[in-house]
Chains A and B, each alone.
Chain A
Amino acid sequence: MNRQTVRLATRSVAGLAVLGLVGIVFPFVLRAQSDACPSSPALRKALWQPYRSPAAISVGLTDPIMLPQTATWLIIDTKDGSSVPVKSVDYPLLTGQHYALSALIVPERPLAVDHTYYLLVQSIVFEHCTSPPKTMTPAAVAMERPKNAKQNFAFSVAKGRDDSDFYFAPTIDGASGQKASYTLDTKFQYRKSLLSPQFGTGVPYRPAIFFIPGWDIKVSSNPKQDGNSVNSLVPLEIVAPVDPASLPSLSKIVTAVVSQPGFVAEADKKFHDVNGVFADYEYVLLHGFGGHNLWVSPEPTIGFETGSNLKAQSANSYSDSILRADFGMRVGLDIFQSKAKSKPLFSIDADYIRRLLLHPEPTYTQDSKGNLQLQSVGTQPRDHVTVKISYNVVSYVALTAAYEYGELPPVYTKVDNKYTFGVTFLGQMQYRPGSKAK
């Protein structure tokens, strides 16, 4: 075991120890918090369904309710202010569960499609509450599907870089013995379905296939910023769920395999060294584990990268084609303040990858002016690890602290214990039915 591997292993053990401490301590700290009565429960998406038997208004509830209920439901016709008599109310329990999340209100007479109705409820008691909420906003009863269900653009909050369609993150980096540097990290991607998934009892198996072109660029005033600064991506994503109907035992452990094949242009930030690579990563999605306050999501990864150098910084630094076998692990850890909170208080993302070079590739260092200096050419494994901790301040803003160590293609300039602190503003483009762009 060489010195580099020992150092990495030491740091990995230290990182795991910190994660373990967090995992042990936080549940005890947070366990004292009891299940909370929802602060603002609401009715959702009241829909007149004359095609049900019997015809009924279906309405959702934001939070669970327990049975029995003695709530009073009112259907108000805004045309004349009259109330439509309610014949019966049913609260369908979710299969195998002890709670309901919807109500079916059957009126004495069918609703008129050219009238506008509102649905009110009184004295409904939500789970973990001892009394009904003081106010419940009435819900308008939809008589048909929204006409703009497939058209609207809207913004919503993304968790982080990986799940943002566009991402914009200016950061200030500091390290001992160095001046502060300024970095702009930007990303854009577009997602289009090529094949709709299908599986289960009685239907032929078909995975989901998406086309996700985009770019992924990081620029920095720091000449020693890592060399993996520019990636142009033309990837596919193949989501292959493990079908419980045909693989019941395996599906209890592995929920899906996600493949991400695609062509990648790897370049240092000055485009002095450019590789054209076809890469394919397989993410094995395992069942998560944990409890109400702590949830761990592991994802082992294997993959390969093959291609050739298109432009070399140093002559004869690539004696052969590029061929790498990769394996790694992603672990997501979420810590929740209480069951009532909609988002985790802290999130920790840890991402480790080891590239086994089957053909020799160069390793560069950077001088103080940012010029690449060839250090060696060889096939020694190249590791890279990142750990990111996010603290959600408000919906669109997160405080982040990140740690990075290792080497990334094409120039494999070592990022040696880099710490980053930043404020991240997150956004995501999406289609959202039934609402105008905000």
Chain B
Amino acid sequence: MSVAADQQLGADQVAQILADCIREAGGENNEIVLTKTLQSYGFHFQNQVDNLTAVIIGNADFGVRKYGFRLSGDALNFATPSTTLSDVADAIQDKATPAP
């Protein structure tokens, strides 16, 4: 998928990425509520969160790559079980850039 350099992911795409990647990373398949924490979706330990961020960054079928975007490996380093989905969504939307 080809996208221009100044493009950003839309809110609908970010929501879809979160829903898919939470499921793929083994989290609870609840409705996505952005004010909730990652722990609320079953990401109790830090390495579970690290797996979730790896899926968001690296999975070509469900992560940002699905839409032709990419994130640096450090882009979601801040995420912990107590991080809200809205913070993760913000970082995805603001930091994801079109893949060259």
Contact = CB atoms under 8 A, between A and B. Distances in A.
Contacts of A145: 6, 8, 94
A297 B34 CA distance: 21
A58 B12 CA distance: 7
B64 to A, nearest CB: 11
> By DSSP majority rule, is chain A's interface helix, strand, loop, or mixed?
strand
Given A51-B4, A163-B80, A343 B39 contact: yes
A200 B58 contact: yes
Interface stretch (A20-28, A97-105, A317-325, A365-373): A97-105
A103 B15 CA distance: 11
A239 B50 contact: yes
B58 to A, nearest CB: 3
A193 B75 CA distance: 9
B11 A344 contact: no
Interface in B22-57: 24-28, 30-37, 39-40, 42-51, 53-55, 57
Contacts, number: 250
A95 B26 CA distance: 18
B26 A288 contact: yes
Contacts of A434: 90, 94
A60 to B, nearest CB: 4
A199 B60 contact: yes
A343 to B, nearest CB: 5
A202 interface: yes
Contacts of A347: 39, 44
Nearest to B41: A295
A310 interface: no
Contacts of A45: 11, 89-90, 93
A49 B51 contact: no
Interface of A: 38, 44-45, 47, 49, 51-52, 56, 58-64, 92, 94-95, 97, 99-104, 127, 144-146, 149-150, 156-159, 162-164, 191-203, 206-208, 210, 237, 239, 241, 244-245, 251, 255-256, 258, 260, 283, 285-288, 290, 292, 295, 297, 299, 330, 332-334, 336, 339, 341-344, 347, 349, 426, 428, 430-434
